[in-house]
Amino acid sequence: MKPIFDIQFMISIVPEILKVVPVTLNITIVSMFFAIIVGLISALVRIYKIPVACQIASTYLSFMRGTPLLVQIYLAYYGIPKILDYAHTYYGWNIDVNGIPAIVFIYFAFTLNVGAYLSETIRAAIQAIDKGQMEAALSIGMTTWQGLRRIIFPQALAVALPSFGNTVISLIKDTSLAFMISVVEMMGQAKILGARGLQFFEVYIVVALIYWIICIIVERTVIRLEKRVKQFERGRSI
């Protein structure tokens, strides 16, 4: 009888999968970077209730959290080229739509999606900081921005970090959707390899293990970071 899975084959495909791990990490890091910026801006806009911008941010958040990520990816993939085409025809923007690599649409969709979730985390973290911290900063003549940057953000980071970690881990796993618009990351590579010899089960076990290992590394790193940014809380009894 044939064994339930072919270990020999599994080992042989590990290098093939590892080859595209950088694509997965690339999507994660680039999207996370821009998502933090989007999340921070939309959080601040809502905290300070800036007219118009605040409503736009709320609608954006509601949409991103109320529609499936896969739909958002398709919207970006099919929608952005249409909009650019339109701009090309009517405003003479010289953009070669076909020259844009698919991964750019992935960056776009993931940035906006993750940005929405981060926005809530960041808002909650900033609002968890005693408002006296900002008052103290203002009272010695600092500007609001200086107070945010030097006093509020470092403290809010300590609050938000565990939740940030979760978001990164979700994002890593969600990158597996990128193959839906033909970006070959780990999941895409797995499908290709699996189809070659119709050994899907083996391929997916390998992929699952690699995702797992990456997520464990991220988890550990976040825990270590947490200790560092919470340094100022040492000596506190709770």
Partner 1 sequence: MIRLQNIEKSFHHTKVLQNINLTVNRGAVVTILGPSGSGKSTLLRCINFLERPNKGLIQVGDLVIQAEKVSREQMIQVRRNTAMVFQHYYLFKNKTALENVMEGLLIVKKLDRAEAYQKSVHFLAKVGLANRMDFYPSQLSGGQQQRVGIARALAMEPQVILFDEPTSALDPELVGEVLAVMKSLAREGMTMIVVTHEMNFAREVASHVIFMDDGLIIEDGSPVEVFDQTKMERTKQFLQRVKRFDS
Can you give the binding site for partner 1, defined by CB under 8 A? 130, 132-133, 135-143, 146, 150-151, 154-155, 158, 231-236
Read off the tokens for 134.
């900002």
Run of H or E residues at 24: helix 21-47
The Cα–Cα gap between 80 and 5 comes to 43
**Distance of closest approach, residue 168 Cβ to partner 1, in angstroms:** 23
Query: How would you class 25 by CB atoms within 10 Å of its CB: exposed for 0-12, middle for 13-18, buried for 19 or more?
Result: middle
**Distance of closest approach, residue 157 Cβ to partner 1, in angstroms:** 9
Q: Which is nearer to partner 1, 99 or 141 (CB)?
A: 141
Q: Which is nearer to partner 1, 215 or 229 (CB)?
A: 229
Q: Which is nearer to partner 1, 91 or 145 (CB)?
A: 145
Q: Which is nearer to partner 1, 43 or 158 (CB)?
A: 158
Interior/surface letters 40-50, b for 16+ CB within 10 angstroms, e for the rest: bebbbbbeeee
**Identity of the amino acid at 91:** Y
Torsion of CA 184, 190, 192, 194, to 10 degrees: 180
**Distance of closest approach, residue 128 Cβ to partner 1, in angstroms:** 12
Q: Which is nearer to partner 1, 155 or 175 (CB)?
A: 155
**Identity of the amino acid at 5:** F
* Helix/strand/coil for 188: helix
**Distance of closest approach, residue 159 Cβ to partner 1, in angstroms:** 11
**Distance of closest approach, residue 212 Cβ to partner 1, in angstroms:** 34
